[in-house]
Amino acid sequence: MEDCIFCKIIKGEIPSEKVYEDEEILAFKDIHPAAPVHILVIPKKHIATLLEISEQDSYLMGKMMQVIQKIAKDLGIEEKGFRLIANCGPDSGQEVMHIHFHLLAGRKMGPKIIS
Ligand code: 5GP
Ligand code: ZN
């Protein structure tokens, strides 16, 4: 997708601090961290919103959860814990129309962390 910021990050047209990459998934540090650890985990396939995930994406979505586990272990946050957030649509405040999970950790979190 030509105008998608995250597709540009995947292609290397916009720099990012990568923490994980394979053929299908990329994880990189959020440019405006809301916690000491704030990673965005995205599929390389452009899917605009959670509502556009199809049955063919089942393997990919499952793999994203495995990757999130791996990142949590690699970063040493698996014991203290982390929060996973995915925004969808205007009320959620979704700004980037390429699905992503926010992986947040490194501090005690209240009921609301992304406004
Ligand atoms: P959303 O509000 O769509 O769930 O979250 C989008 C996230 O992408 C925000 O937390 C924002 O800081 C992050 N973001 C937007 N543009 C860039 C960028 O160019 N690089 C990085 N690393 N993060 C970005
Ligand atoms: Zn995209």
The pTM assigned to this predicted structure is 0.95
If we measure between CA atoms, which residue out of 63, 115, 113 comes closest to residue 83?
Answer: 113
**Ligand 1, atom nearest to 28 Cα:** 22
Structure confidence at residue 113 (pLDDT): 52
Q: Are 58 and 66 in contact (CB under 8 A)?
A: no
If we measure between CA atoms, which residue out of 106, 85, 92 comes closest to residue 37?
Answer: 106
Structure confidence at residue 110 (pLDDT): 84
Domain ranges of the chain: 5-97
pLDDT band at 112 (very low <50, low <70, confident <90, very high): low
If we measure between CA atoms, which residue out of 76, 83, 71 comes closest to residue 19?
Answer: 71
50: tokens are 């959670």
Q: Which residues line ligand 1 (CB under 6 A)?
A: 5, 14, 16, 28-32, 40, 87, 93-96
Whether the per-residue pLDDT at 2 is higher than 80: the answer is no
- Rounded Cα distance, 26 and 47, in Å: 14
Tell me the pLDDT of the chain averaged across its residues.
Answer: 95
- Rounded Cα distance, 46 and 83, in Å: 23
Task: Note the pLDDT tens digit of each residue in 22-60.
Answer: 999 999 999 999 999 999 999 999 999 999 999 999 999
Domain 5-97: which CATH number of 3.40.30.10, 3.30.428.10, 3.40.50.2000, 3.90.1010.20: 3.30.428.10
CA of 8 relative to ligand 1 center, distance in Å: 12
